[in-house]
């Protein structure tokens, strides 16, 4: 399965970094095609303006719907609709394509979202800048039956969607079959599997370094003991720094020997 990713931004050069490293290799292998588009290519005025003042007042600028729609109609192969208020939301939205807007005022993007999106054929990301984008843009495409998502990557505010989109693309594409050589390293990592604990600490050689020793049990060769030690460590670590993940745990995912902290 291959995936096409289109990104729309007023800073398309920002996405040059996606040609590096593992994602660059995946593109070379033909597993994923990433294209970054300059939103200003869809403007018609001499100033190439993409934003305007907020209706109702307030600071900053808001991205205009007209320019975005011309661009997204092209990328999604949709004909413009004169009066979208008459559209009834179709019952079966397109399952292969997802339109995604990063937005600090949206649900958090999680590993579960990344896993689901890794199975899609076509992702289109729209990067907002300034104070945001006109709310009718996602609304219009939802009315046309497009699967539209808005996600925040964390409870902090960035200057625009570019960093958020890079993070989401990296989280999604690394889960595509064939992307990584070692599939186990995905199965065992944090936030995945039946039980979303933080990962246990990792050590490599030497067994003692600058006076600091690797935990003895890891050198024992007893896989049962090693697994138990790591699981206890993961539970204790998660309880300490992410109690919200412990709260959210499905208690059936805990085994009988998991100790109470
Ligand atoms: N745009 C600005 N801040 C953001 C955030 N935290 N997540 C997603 N998009 C954003």
Domains of the chain: 3-173 (3.40.1280.10), 193-253 (1.10.1270.20)
- Is any atom of ligand 1 closer than 6 Å to the C-beta of 167? no
Residue 261: the pLDDT is 47
Residue 50: the pLDDT is 97
- For residue 230, pLDDT beyond 90: yes
Nearest residue CA, atom 5 of ligand 1? 104
- For residue 184, pLDDT beyond 50: yes
> Annotation-wise, does 151 bind a ligand?
no
- Is any atom of ligand 1 closer than 6 Å to the C-beta of 60? no
Residue 219: the pLDDT is 98
- Is any atom of ligand 1 closer than 6 Å to the C-beta of 126? no
> Annotation-wise, does 134 bind a ligand?
no
- Is any atom of ligand 1 closer than 6 Å to the C-beta of 107? no
- Is any atom of ligand 1 closer than 6 Å to the C-beta of 152? yes
The predicted-structure confidence for 54-66, as pLDDT tens digits, reads as follows: 999 999 999 999 9
> Annotation-wise, does 128 bind a ligand?
yes
Q: How far is the CA of 109 from the centre of ligand 1 (A)?
A: 10
Q: Which two tokens stand for residue 241?
A: 């720094």
Tell me the average pLDDT across 131-139: 96
What's the ipTM?
0.98
Q: 């050589």: which residue's tokens?
A: 181
User: Is residue 69 a contact partner of residue 140, using CB atoms and an 8 Å limit?
Assistant: yes
Residue 187: the pLDDT is 62
- Is any atom of ligand 1 closer than 6 Å to the C-beta of 156? yes
The predicted-structure confidence for 84-120, as pLDDT tens digits, reads as follows: 999 987 877 789 999 999 999 999 999 999 999 999 9
What pTM value is reported for the model? 0.92
> Annotation-wise, does 157 bind a ligand?
yes
Residue 70: the pLDDT is 98
């Amino acid at each position: 399965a291959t995936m096409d990713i289109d990104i729309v931004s007023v800073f398309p050069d920002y996405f040059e970094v996606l040609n590096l490293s593992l994602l660059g290799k995946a593109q070379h292998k033909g597993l994923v095609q990433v294209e970054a588009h300059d939103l200003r290519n869809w403007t018609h005025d001499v100033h190439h303006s993409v934003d305007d003042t907020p209706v109702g007042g307030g600071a900053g600028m808001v991205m205009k719907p007209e320019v975005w729609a011309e661009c997204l109609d092209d990328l999604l192969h949709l004909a413009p609709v004169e009066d979208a208020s008459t559209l009834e939301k179709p019952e079966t939205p397109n399952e292969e394509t997802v339109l995604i807007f990063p937005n600090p005022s949206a649900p958090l993007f999680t590993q579960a979202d990344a896993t689901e999106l890794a199975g899609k054929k076509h992702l289109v990301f729209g990067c907002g800048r300034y104070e945001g984008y006109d709310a009718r843009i996602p609304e219009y495409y939802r009315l046309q039956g497009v699967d539209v998502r808005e996600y925040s990557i964390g409870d902090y505010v960035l200057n625009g969607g570019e960093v958020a989109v890079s993070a989401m693309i990296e989280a999604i594409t690394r889960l595509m079959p064939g992307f990584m050589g070692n599939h186990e390293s995905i199965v065992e990592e944090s936030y995945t599997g039946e039980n979303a604990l933080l990962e246990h600490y990792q050590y490599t050689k030497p067994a003692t370094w600058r006076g600091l020793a690797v935990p003895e049990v890891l050198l024992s060769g007893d896989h049962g003991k090693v697994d138990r030690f790591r699981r206890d460590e993961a539970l204790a670590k998660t309880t300490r720094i992410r109690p919200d993940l412990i709260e959210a745990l499905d208690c059936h995912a805990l085994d009988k020997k998991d100790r109470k902290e």
